[in-house]
Amino acid sequence: MRTIPGVPAASLGILAALAAAGLWVAASHPQRAAAAIVDAPQLIAPANDETITTFGPTLQWANPAGTTQYQLQVIPINNDGPGVNLIIGSADTSFAIPAPPSWYGLLPDMSYTWRVRATDAIVSVSETDSGWGPWTEARSFRTPTVSSGTVSLDSPAGGALATSLTPTLTWSNSDSAVYYYEVEVSKDPAFGPNAFLYSERRHGAVTTPLNSYAIPGGFPLEAGTTYYWRVRPRVQGDGTPVEWPAVASFRTPAANTLLLEVAAPADESTVNSATAQVTGKTARGATVTVNETIASVDSAGGFAVTVTLLEGPNVIDIIASDDAGNVLMVTLVVTYIP
């Protein structure tokens, strides 16, 4: 991880999300002979071992007299996941941990410890400065549990025909606090050892499109085969894994039949250019149109078409067809903001 002088490494992941909170992290300063603050802050809330009800809890404490800034640490059990380590240039007595999507930090059904210490320094100090008072005793809290019942398997589903042997699977979740998932794909509806298992973890907030998993090109699915897939929220640390939800299925196209893979642009993407190049792959000899413009398909099935965009959302229809009358279509929405 990249480091910044004077910034604790564990805090780098949330500095951008917390910039509006008025924090400043110390640069190095000469060490002082002794701490003027001899008492630790007093932790107030949440209570020790409390199960909190939100992924954006507010931590509260009381500072000793003379406090000018404090250091807060929030540590996941066994360091299994993101944590907080911040020096804040104020005498505030509370800190609200940002919840998703402001910061993708706390994970479900997991224990965290937290502690605070204070200083009376009037300049920014590093965490190794001798002027810090003592740490509080660490308290624990536990994050809320989550369920697979809020997850919907969107595409491909319902036995649909995938457009290629490397389809992108997409899902949605009505619980906006969940962002980390386990994904499994197999020919075996029981997901047992008798078939190759695609088993991945995905941070759904950073995939393209959101909440998605693309079968890797180096390990394509088998042609003319039914596959099964499932997704559940990832629970780690000392949490209890949740049940898998209902399984969805889809079929892959038969060998030497029509296929349509769109490489770019990403669905639901936002661009600042008035044009977008639509690229992808189809079967050799197939015809591809992009918003009714016929694309040139090369000998390997690759195609590329430049589309002019209007300000705001633009619908792009990519259609592949062959002489046998087979038709596949992919629809994208690309938003142009000048």
pLDDT in tens, 47-96: 999 999 999 999 999 999 999 999 999 999 999 999 999 999 999 999 99
Distance CA 203, CA 281 (A): 27
Residue 304 token pair: 């590329």
Distance CA 134, CA 68 (A): 15
Asked if 214 contacts 266 with a C-beta cutoff of 8 angstroms, the reply is no
C-alpha 194/C-alpha 66 separation (Å) is 66
CATH of domain 9-142: 2.60.40.10
Residues of the chain with pLDDT under 50: 1-33
Task: Say what the pTM is.
Answer: 0.72
Nearest Cα residue to 177 out of 52, 18, 51, 55: 55
For the chain, the structural domain boundaries read 9-142, 146-255, 258-338
Secondary structure element (H or E) that encloses residue 18, with its range? helix 15-18
Alpha-carbon distance of 56 to 14, in angstroms, equals: 13
CATH 2.60.40.10 fits 146-255, yes or no: yes
Task: Indicate the pairing of strand 50-51 with strand 139-142.
Answer: parallel
pLDDT for the residue 326 = 85
Predicted confidence (pLDDT) per residue in 38-50, tens digit: 899 999 999 999 9
- What is the C-alpha separation between 68 and 311, in angstroms, rounded? 49
Q: Is 177 left (phi over 0), alpha (psi -120 to 50) or beta?
A: alpha
Tokens of 78: 């066994």
258-338 falls under which CATH superfamily?
A: Immunoglobulins (2.60.40.10)
Do 258-338 and 146-255 have the same topology in CATH? Answer: yes
pLDDT at residue 35, rounded to an integer: 58
